[in-house]
């Protein structure tokens, strides 16, 4: 029980370390595609939690909420693109 929980935490850490998809690409399309694992055109909360950004001092969940403007627990391409440009001070 404790060991498997530790492994879960560890793999979650490794996953988040390897994916700074939101901040790094030069355009939002690449960032979106990097998180949208099943290629259905929306980012589910699970996809975002696993593959989304993991900057210090702010939780991925919080970022998800900020991007998910209409609070339907999914991030559409439009929501993602809007947030991407907002983050860079463009609109
Ligand atoms: Ca998806
Ligand atoms: Ca949404």
46 alpha carbon, closest ligand: 1
With a threshold of 0.75, does the pTM exceed it?
no
Alpha helices per DSSP H over the chain: 2-18, 28-35, 45-51, 60-67, 77-87
More confident residue, 86 or 23: 86
> What values do phi and psi take at 75, rounded to 5?
-105, 115
Distance from Cα 74 to the centre of ligand 2, integer Å: 4
Q: What CA–CA distance (Å, rounded) separates 67 from 42? A: 12
Task: Check residue 51 and give its pLDDT.
Answer: 93
The full set of domain ranges for the chain reads 2-87
The fold for domain 2-87 equals Recoverin; domain 1 (1.10.238)
The number of the ligand nearest the C-alpha atom of 38 reads 1
pLDDT for residue 9: 55
- Could you read off the pLDDT of 1-56 as tens digits, one per residue? 665 655 555 555 444 444 444 555 678 999 999 999 999 999 999 999 999 988 88
Q: Is 76 exposed, middle or buried (0-12, 13-18, 19+ CB in 10 A)?
A: middle
């Amino acid at each position: 029980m404790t060991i498997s929980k530790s492994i879960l935490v560890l793999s979650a850490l490794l996953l988040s370390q390897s994916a700074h998809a939101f901040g790094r690409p030069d355009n939002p399309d690449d960032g979106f595609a990097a998180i949208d694992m099943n290629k259905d055109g929306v980012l589910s909360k699970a996809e975002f939690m696993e593959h989304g950004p993991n900057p210090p001092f702010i939780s991925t969940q919080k970022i998800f909420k900020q991007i998910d403007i209409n609070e339907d627990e999914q991030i559409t391409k439009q929501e993602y693109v809007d947030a991407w440009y907002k983050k860079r001070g463009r609109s």
